[in-house]
Structures are given as structure tokens and as C-alpha cells.
Amino acid sequence: MHKLLVILVLCLFPLASFSAGPAVKGETVDWSFNGPFGKFNKSSLQRGLQVYTEVCSSCHSLKYIAYRNLSDLGYNKSEIKAFASNFTVTDGPNDDGEMFERPGMPADHFVSPYPNMNAARAANGGAYPPDLSLITKARGGGADYLYSLLIGYKKPPENLDVREGLYYNKYYSGNLIAMPQPLYGDDVTYADGTKASIEQMASDVTEFLAWAAEPEMEVRKRTGIAAITFLLIMAVLSYLAKQQIWANVKKKQI
């Protein structure tokens, strides 16, 4: 029972601390989804989806998320269907054995900006833009690292030679990164009127990508809490039952 309790407690906490890759010291953010009782902020998730769609999706894919998953963000079926239809999906083959294009449907996964990896590299000077589905789990530091990276583009020191095709980022390992600065402030116009500062957009898209990496997080936490509560109650009842049973045995021995 002790081992089971340990496993369940570990399941309640975010897995970012076990992510692959070297940890980079950056900003520390008090995310709403941190901790065993943490939850995603749906308003932030919706804003983050807007930042991803209007800024990030031109280079980065989100291949493990389907449009229907956006119901977790608070969108209804009609809104999801309308959103998916804005994208063109290559499907087929048809009866003639040919591929064809059609509007996206809720069951489709997010459309990649490139047809293949070679096309992605060719469009980005040889650097492959990683898929963002699991990015907060694939980097040491998790959401804090991604947020820091997005706000970390600064003017390089005068004594640092930055060759063409690289950019200075104070939070990136080695400080030189191939990805151009993605956020400049007011890159999007938020539907809810929130000011689109660099920090706000970085926070929103980071929370959205944290959700994309683990859409079932809230269910997992609720299940873990319920399981631990049940086990604790059963442990107390078992202890009381044991006390009652052995009390009678002791009386007989006396």
C-alpha cells in the first residue's frame, strides 16, 4: 500500500521536472496549472491558441492535437467546426487514386505548415522548426523555460560576434539561437481586449502549449486526489478495525 501511495502522489505533480534536455536558468512563473490542485486558465488558453495560430503556426506544427480537442478550451462544436474549416487538409486517395484538398474537420489534427521535413528545413535555412505538441515536456525547465526563451531576445553585447542567421537570446544555452524573435508586442489583437505585450503573449502561448503537451492533466489530478482520499479513508478504517479486533484478542489473553 505504501508503494501505491507514493506512485499516486508522484502522479499528481507536473512531469516537467523529468523532461529531457539540459535545464536553463530563466524566469520562474507561478503558473495556474502548477501543483496537485492546479488548473488551466481557459481565457489564457484561448488567447494562447490565437498566438499560436497567428504567429507560431507559420513555422511550427502541432501534430498530436486534433481540432476537436479544443473543446477543453471552452469552445462548442460549432465554433470548433468553423475554426477547423479555415485550414486546408490534403486527403485521399479518391476513387481515381488521386489526392485532393478539402476544408479541415474537427476530427483532423492541426495542419502542418510544411508538407515534409525537407521542405521545413529548406524554408528555414537548414534548421528544422520542432513540433510544439510536447515542447514543454521536451525541454528542461518546462513551461518556465519556454516562457523565458520567448521573452529572452535582447540586443547582444557589443563584444559578441553574432553571425548571420543567428540571434541573441539571454535564456538560450550558448545565447545564440537560429529561431528569429517571434514576439514583438501587439502581434495579435486579443478578442477579450487584453493588451498583447510580449510577456502576455509569451505567457498565454506557453500555457496553451503546456495544455497541448498534457490535455488530460486536470483529469489526472482529480483522479489522483480521489484515489489518495479513498486510500487514506480505507487506511484509517483498516487501522480502527485492527484496533477493535486485537482489543478483543488481548482481553481474552488477559
Q: Identify the pLDDT of residue 140.
A: 86
Other beta carbons within 10 Å of 171: 22
Q: Identify the pLDDT of residue 246.
A: 80
Q: Identify the pLDDT of residue 10.
A: 40
CA atoms within 13 A on the CB side of 57: 16
Pairing of strands 176-177, 88-91: unpaired
CA 92 to chain centroid, in Å, comes to: 31
- Hey, what domains does the chain have and what are their CATH numbers? 18-65+109-219 (1.10.760.10)
Q: Which residue ranges of the chain lie beneath pLDDT 70?
A: 1-24, 249-254
Name the residue among 3, 19, 26 with its Cα closest to residue 146. Answer: 26
Q: Identify the pLDDT of residue 249.
A: 67
Alpha-carbon gap, residue 200 to 188, rounded angstroms: 11
Name the residue among 82, 110, 59 with its Cα closest to residue 212. Answer: 110
Q: Identify the pLDDT of residue 89.
A: 94
Q: What is the pTM of this model?
A: 0.82
Residues whose CB is less than 8 angstroms from the CB of residue 215 and which lie 6 or more positions away in sequence, other chains included:
65, 69, 72
Beta bridge partners of 66: 109
